[in-house]
Amino acid sequence: MPLSRKNAQEALYLYRELTSAQRRALQRRLKAGELRRIAPGVLTSLPEDQWPALIARERNRVLAELFSGAVIGFRSAFAGGVPVEGVMHLSYRYDRTAALPGLTVVLIKAKGPVEGDQPIAGRQLYFPSNARLLLENLTISRGVIRKAVGESAVEERLVSTCEARGQEALNQLRDHARALAPILGLAREFAILERLIGGILGTNAKARLATAAGKAHAAGLPYDSGRLQLIDTLAARLRSEPLVQPATPVGSAQAHVNFAFLESYFSNFIEGTEFDVQEARDIVLEGKPLPSRPKDSHDILGVFRQATEPAWRNLTLASGEPALEQLKARHADLMRARPEVAPGEFKDRPNFAGSTAFVEPRLVRGTLVQASQILPSVPAGTGRALLAMFIVAEVHPFADGNGRTARLVMNAELSAVNACRIIVPTLFREEYLDCLRALSRNGEPEPFAAAMQRILHWTASFDYEDLSRVIALMQSCHAFEKSRAQFKLLFPSELAQAAGRTPRRAPKAESSE
């Protein structure tokens, strides 16, 4: 780190980050009273009353300076790498308790970094693998400051991992822990971990689980009973009478491509990925992603790909546990350009839409399994499509991409019976979300069923052979507008009636190319 200070009032100097010449210069300033020593090799210009805040802000830098090669461990690792009740536990070369301003550091003699431990920000301070973290937290705690969270907390973490990531994640964790246990000297702790995992997976009938979450999981995948009742309510409505189901209006390969482009364009627009329609044409049909928006470009390409490729286009939602891997595969393909949202992995933390909380992460798998088993009871086509879409939207199983995934699942059910897929235009967005909210919050399926049949009929009323022509007609029908207060979504027939004629196909529009 250079000696020049951006802000002398916030300067923190660490010897390990400096050259020999820079250290000598700091020592001169220390003797002159310009700097003060917080700890060996840690200097600052701040007054002493500000040191606790400085240490809290630069904690990892300071710990890497003072305890190079340490691994964040035990309770601190379990909490995500932060102090618990003002105490930071580190696995280090020896046992000791060190006091820093506002922070107590408990050093525990243990093995240094091993396979799976990762450096934090490239420094000589490491965060442990999940296997090591859990093994350490099963150790016996003695003394005033407890170093381990204990068996019940580890059991709950294992249940959450299984419900968010699946049984294979626990199997992989157990295999890693088995390899680490002799290296870390934690054979006793591995025996406990193996018993807990066996109990959760149902492979160890004698294993006794202590927590309610563990017992519920061992008895079968837990699920959100309230959401399941809501899904049952919709299923009953969708079975009660025949629904609108127009045949697909696309016949040629070009029409399929044009329809898929519009489906992707509007589906992404709903989620806030907004492009000018010509920009979207360049991205999708001309292969010209916007350099300034590479991830947004990939989002619109992802929906387009799944709307055109038969393997995705016609992939109806499976029933039961196979639905889990199928949804994860669809999401992994759709969101592959956004690794930060964990493509293909169920969420590991709650998500919300406004004040509405979706299904808890630990209940996602069980709720999807139970809900998907209701699908075969609803007639194939429109009814099953709407139910499949609502299941994914209501569970919201992923960190991001749930709306796009839900609409692709819906449209696959329609393609499978050669029915018209659904496009949700921008002007219909609020009505679409309103009817979903009415169903989700109030248990009212009728607005949802009515609105989706209306937009299905609207989608089927266009000719998709000429993309420029259909875009122009949709613009005349106000599909691209946002304000329901200013515009009404029109059918092509309503335009024709106003003009005193009934069109057989959309009028020719000027090409925007």
pLDDT of the residue at 62:
94
Mean pLDDT of 352-378: 90
More confident: 10 or 478? 478
Is it the case that residue 439 has pLDDT exceeding 50? yes
Is it the case that residue 432 has pLDDT exceeding 90? yes
Is it the case that residue 78 has pLDDT exceeding 50? yes
pLDDT band at 513 (very low <50, low <70, confident <90, very high): very low
Helix, strand and coil percent figures for the chain, each rounded to 5: 55, 10, 40
**Which structural domain, as residue segments, surrounds residue 252?**
225-499
Residue 412 φ then ψ, to 5°: -65, -35
pLDDT band at 219 (very low <50, low <70, confident <90, very high): low
Burial class (CB in 10 A: 0-12, 13-18, 19+), 485: exposed
Is 327 part of any domain? yes
The predicted-structure confidence for 261-298, as pLDDT tens digits, reads as follows 999 999 999 998 888 999 999 999 988 888 888 888 88
Task: State the DSSP code for 92.
Answer: E
Is it the case that residue 9 has pLDDT exceeding 80? no
Q: Could you tell me if 174 and 237 lie in one domain?
A: no
Is 2 part of any domain? no
pLDDT of the residue at 484:
92
In 3D space, the residue among 92, 71, 88, 192 whose CA is nearest the CA of residue 134 turns out to be: 192
Is 512 part of any domain? no
More confident: 362 or 325? 325
Q: Could you tell me if 360 and 238 lie in one domain?
A: yes
Name the β-bridge partners of 162: none
Q: Could you tell me if 186 and 324 lie in one domain?
A: no
* SS3 category, 303: helix
Is it the case that residue 10 has pLDDT exceeding 80? no
Is 276 part of any domain? yes
pLDDT of the residue at 368:
95
Please report how the helices 277-285 and 467-476 are oriented relative to each other, as an axis angle in degrees rounded to 10.
Answer: 160
Q: Could you tell me if 286 and 210 lie in one domain?
A: no
**Pairing between β-strand 70-72 and β-strand 125-127 as defined by DSSP bridges:** parallel
Q: Could you tell me if 341 and 456 lie in one domain?
A: yes
The predicted-structure confidence for 34-51, as pLDDT tens digits, reads as follows 999 999 999 999 999 999
Mean pLDDT of 390-395: 97
Q: Name the residue type at position 169.
A: A
Q: What is the CA radius of gyration of the chain?
A: 29
The predicted-structure confidence for 165-211, as pLDDT tens digits, reads as follows 888 999 999 999 999 999 999 999 999 999 999 988 877 767 778 77
Give CA separation, 401 vs 21, 179, 340, 351, 354, in Å: 52, 36, 12, 12, 16
pLDDT of the residue at 222:
80
Residue count (the chain): 513
pLDDT of the residue at 4:
35
Give the Cα separation of 479 and 458 in Å (integer): 10
pLDDT of the residue at 196:
93
Is 258 part of any domain? yes
Give the Cα separation of 460 and 221 in Å (integer): 40
Give the Cα separation of 261 and 298 in Å (integer): 13
Give the Cα separation of 255 and 506 in Å (integer): 13
pLDDT of the residue at 384:
98
In 3D space, the residue among 81, 111, 98, 101 whose CA is nearest the CA of residue 38 turns out to be: 101
Percentage of the chain modeled with pLDDT above 70: 94
Residue 289, both tokens: 């992603």
Mean pLDDT of 125-140: 95
Q: In this structure, what CATH number is given to the domain that contains residue 243?
A: 1.10.3290.10
Give the Cα separation of 175 and 286 in Å (integer): 47
More confident: 303 or 292? 303
Give the Cα separation of 346 and 361 in Å (integer): 8
Mean pLDDT of the chain: 90
Q: Could you tell me if 344 and 490 lie in one domain?
A: yes
Q: Could you tell me if 25 and 160 lie in one domain?
A: no
Mean pLDDT of 305-320: 96
Residue 360, both tokens: 């808890």
pLDDT of the residue at 213:
67
Is 272 part of any domain? yes
The predicted-structure confidence for 469-478, as pLDDT tens digits, reads as follows 999 999 999 9
CA atoms in the 13 A half-sphere facing the CB of 503? 19
Is it the case that residue 2 has pLDDT exceeding 80? no
Q: Could you tell me if 276 and 358 lie in one domain?
A: yes
* SS3 category, 70: strand
Is 451:389 a contact under the CB 8 Å cutoff? no
Q: Could you tell me if 287 and 409 lie in one domain?
A: yes
Is it the case that residue 412 has pLDDT exceeding 50? yes
Number of domains the chain contains: 3
pLDDT of the residue at 296:
87
Q: Could you tell me if 167 and 285 lie in one domain?
A: no
Mean pLDDT of 465-494: 96
Is 209:200 a contact under the CB 8 Å cutoff? yes
Mean pLDDT of 136-141: 93
Is 394:230 a contact under the CB 8 Å cutoff? yes
Q: Could you tell me if 359 and 467 lie in one domain?
A: yes
Residue 102 region by backbone torsions, left for phi larger than 0, else alpha for psi between -120 and 50, else beta: left
Q: Could you tell me if 315 and 454 lie in one domain?
A: yes
